[in-house]
Structure 1
Amino acid sequence: MIGDQDASSLRILAISALWQGANDYAFVRAFRRMGHSVRAVSEQEFLPSWRSWPLRLVRRVLRERIVEDYNQALLREARMLRPDLLFVFKGALVKAETLRAVRDMGTICIQFYPDTGFRAQSPQLWDAIPEYDWFFSTKLDHVEGLRASHGYHRVSFLPHGFDPETHRPIEASARDIADYGCDVSFIGSISKKKRAAMEELLQRAGELDIAIWGPPTWREQGGAVAQAYRGSPVLGLEYAKAISLSKINLGLMFEGSSDGARPDVLTARTFEIPGAGGFMLHERTDEAAEHFEDCTECVLFSDHDEMIDKIHYYLAHDDERRAIAAAGRQRCLDSGYSTDDRARVIIAKFHELRTQDSNSGADR
């Protein structure tokens, strides 16, 4: 163990965003609630999210320099903190040589990967994978995939979770109800399959109050989709309010892409919607059915017809809908679906790896 601090309290250097509602920041908060000392470094401090074309061009020209500066900053932070654990959430800019240098300090490096694919994210991410002491992925396919692509076996499945600070029932104000109240909502990014589902719903159930929150690409589709679009992604507690005030929250899954990104079967929304006390109507997958009991803790659908039929049914049966929403939240609490629970798994893996290092003379 680096340093002389109590073994129950770790020094953790985390690659994370710094705003409430960010999935990575939820882990930072969870680690701190566990009593650990956490220093968070955000990629956004180095890689600006400029939108205009001239500034995006400047960012592209400077990207290599930005990535190098960012990795040097990580090394400086690691040398100052001397962390027991480097926790990387996605870490698209973290280079393999940076991980090697941090591990040479005696630090355990653990990745929690939340996305569907790798190659489209960055070349640094793909090359750095073998340098992690352990790689948790929210996608089951990645476990065998990384073994095949990298000969890498230090990988396991760990699903997303809900943030108990953020994804919780919230007492709504009149303003909240006016802003977020609706019959059906989808909150998330756009894809061809998601767009088709929303277009079908809007065409066949246009009398309902249907809302979409997400990137402006939704508005650019025009027609009924653009009319249903209520604005950019709702974040933090506003996201929880939108879930609570939507009578039905859709769990639409990404279908995968030609660049190697695999289809989703579970997403962060799978746990955030019931965690916030919302009623969840989710695409039917084996994994969703394993985590929530259909028609008791959530409702699953297989196609557009079933989705629309169940929307009409549950809008007409308020008591059933509310009971399922309450049972879904209770399942999240009882079954350990929070980021606090996921963080405990990560810390347990840290201790397992540290023990292995001690027993093998720290020969990694």
Structure 2
Amino acid sequence: MMIQQKHYDVVWIDKGHTIFASTLRFIKAVSPSTIIVSYSPDNMALRHNQTQQYLECIPYYDYIFTNKSYILDDMRRLGAKNIHFVNNSYEETFHHPYNLTEKEKRELGGEVGFVGMWEKERCESIFYLADHGIKVKVFGNKVWDKYATYSPNLEIVGHLLKGEDYSKSLQAFRISLCFLRKINFDQQTTRSVEIPACGGFMLAERTDEHLAMFKEGKEAAYFSSNEELLEKCQYYLNHETERKQIALSGRERCLTSDYSNEGMIKKCLNIIFQNEVK
């Protein structure tokens, strides 16, 4: 193993579904000063996100980082020693504004848009908008296809977007919707930073974490009901200058608060090494 050939200050493991506890014990036996870190963007306190290998490894991680603030105590009960919350982050090499062609604006954008998997609650919210005259385009998985003829105000594109097309779409929509995954009890998601980072206007579910990341009405817009969602869509579709300024300010907040992947990792390393020198 590489750990036998060279000293590493940190071994960073993303998610770690297939890592065995014996591997972590071996790392510590060979290099006791190496700090073993776990990071996952999923709610690892929920069974559907776990494997038996992951559960057995939890006590052997020196630090665990999660973007789910509400699972800290649950993870401690599973054996986590040092667990810390960090915000979601974006990849600055492709989550950034692009010079969009008219063809890209037309094919990847629209009035109001959502890019993501089907879930009951978000589908009902999108139906509510369509029923009240808002034109919505959805790029999603095949489950969305069954609703392709639901309304002339709803356009279903039966595939998800990847790479630059995903980033360009978040920018191309006049309003990009940010729904939270109810099965994970999310308070924020990767779109929470990816939409503003791409220069898009974000209309997201209102949570304390969202409000802490982006100022309401200044750097993003929020809703707490379908009625408020409709009201905000109607307002910002008719207030173009204000909408564009909020999108610009949201992008600037991503930069000044360093919500990038690199910024998140720096924060984690600062926590680790500040603790280690005490």
Q: Determine whether 1:174 maps to 2:102.
A: yes
Distance 1:215 1:128 in 2: 33
Instruction: State the Cα deviation string for residues 289-328 of structure 1 (Å, max 9, x = none).
Output: 1111111110010100110111111111110100000011
Q: Determine whether 1:102 maps to 2:44.
A: no
Give the match for residue 199 of structure 2: 277
How far off is 1:229 after superposition? 2.2
How far off is 1:167 after superposition? 1.0
Report the 3-state secondary structure (helix = DSSP H, G, I; strand = E; otherwise coil) of the residue aligned with 1:224. Answer: coil
Q: Determine whether 1:308 maps to 2:236.
A: no
Do 2:59 and 2:81's aligned partners in 1 also have CA atoms closer than 8 Å?
no
Q: Structure 2 residue aligned with 1:139, among 68, 76, 82?
A: 68
| TM-score computed with the length of structure 1 as normaliser | 0.70
Counterpart residue type for residue 195 of structure 2: I
Give the match for residue 128 of structure 2: 200
Q: Structure 2 residue aligned with 1:125, among 47, 54, 78?
A: 54
Distance 1:168 1:153 in 2: 36
Distance 1:120 1:201 in 2: 32
- In structure 2, the CA distance between the partners of 1:350 and 1:321, relative to structure 1 (3 Å rule), is same
Do 1:113 and 1:137's aligned partners in 2 also have CA atoms closer than 8 Å?
yes
- In structure 2, the CA distance between the partners of 1:234 and 1:353, relative to structure 1 (3 Å rule), is same
Do 1:193 and 1:254's aligned partners in 2 also have CA atoms closer than 8 Å?
no
Report the 3-state secondary structure (helix = DSSP H, G, I; strand = E; otherwise coil) of the residue aligned with 1:217. Answer: helix
Do 2:61 and 2:81's aligned partners in 1 also have CA atoms closer than 8 Å?
no
- Between the aligned residues of both structures, percent identity stands at 28
How many residues were matched structurally? 273
Instruction: State the Cα deviation string for residues 230-256 of structure 1 (Å, max 9, x = none).
Output: 242212221110011010000111112
Report the 3-state secondary structure (helix = DSSP H, G, I; strand = E; otherwise coil) of the residue aligned with 1:297. Answer: coil
Alignment gaps of 5+ in structure 1: 1-75, 257-261, 357-364
Q: Which moved more, 1:111-120 or 1:271-280?
A: 111-120
Give the match for residue 160 of structure 2: 233
Do 1:85 and 1:350's aligned partners in 2 also have CA atoms closer than 8 Å?
no
Q: Determine whether 1:93 maps to 2:18.
A: yes
Instruction: State the Cα deviation string for residues 102-142 of structure 1 (Å, max 9, x = none).
Output: 23232321111201244213222222222111000100111
Do 2:55 and 2:78's aligned partners in 1 also have CA atoms closer than 8 Å?
no
Note the 1:1-364 alignment, pairs <5 A. Answer: 76-79=1-4, 82-106=7-31, 107-117=34-44, 118-121=46-49, 122-147=51-76, 149-205=77-133, 208=135, 210-221=136-147, 223-224=149-150, 228-256=155-183, 262-352=184-274, 355=277
Instruction: State the Cα deviation string for residues 175-217 of structure 1 (Å, max 9, x = none).
Output: 31232121111112222212221222222225x2x21122222
| TM-score computed with the length of structure 2 as normaliser | 0.90
Do 2:62 and 2:81's aligned partners in 1 also have CA atoms closer than 8 Å?
no
- In structure 2, the CA distance between the partners of 1:225 and 1:340, relative to structure 1 (3 Å rule), is farther
Counterpart residue type for residue 337 of structure 1: Y
Give the match for residue 360 of structure 1: none
Distance 1:77 1:225 in 2: 57
Q: CA RMSD in A?
A: 2.2
Distance 1:193 1:237 in 2: 28
Do 1:297 and 1:325's aligned partners in 2 also have CA atoms closer than 8 Å?
yes
- In structure 2, the CA distance between the partners of 1:317 and 1:132, relative to structure 1 (3 Å rule), is same
Distance 1:219 1:280 in 2: 25
Instruction: State the Cα deviation string for residues 3-36 of structure 1 (Å, max 9, x = none).
Output: xxxxxxxxxxxxxxxxxxxxxxxxxxxxxxxxxx
Instruction: State the Cα deviation string for residues 21-63 of structure 1 (Å, max 9, x = none).
Output: xxxxxxxxxxxxxxxxxxxxxxxxxxxxxxxxxxxxxxxxxxx
Counterpart residue type for residue 241 of structure 1: K
How far off is 1:269 after superposition? 0.6
Do 2:118 and 2:140's aligned partners in 1 also have CA atoms closer than 8 Å?
yes
- In structure 2, the CA distance between the partners of 1:286 and 1:225, relative to structure 1 (3 Å rule), is farther
Alignment gaps of 5+ in structure 2: none
Do 2:214 and 2:253's aligned partners in 1 also have CA atoms closer than 8 Å?
yes
Counterpart residue type for residue 146 of structure 1: M
Do 1:218 and 1:225's aligned partners in 2 also have CA atoms closer than 8 Å?
no
Do 2:96 and 2:198's aligned partners in 1 also have CA atoms closer than 8 Å?
yes
Distance 2:21 2:268 in 1: 21
Distance 1:241 1:232 in 2: 15
Do 1:166 and 1:236's aligned partners in 2 also have CA atoms closer than 8 Å?
yes
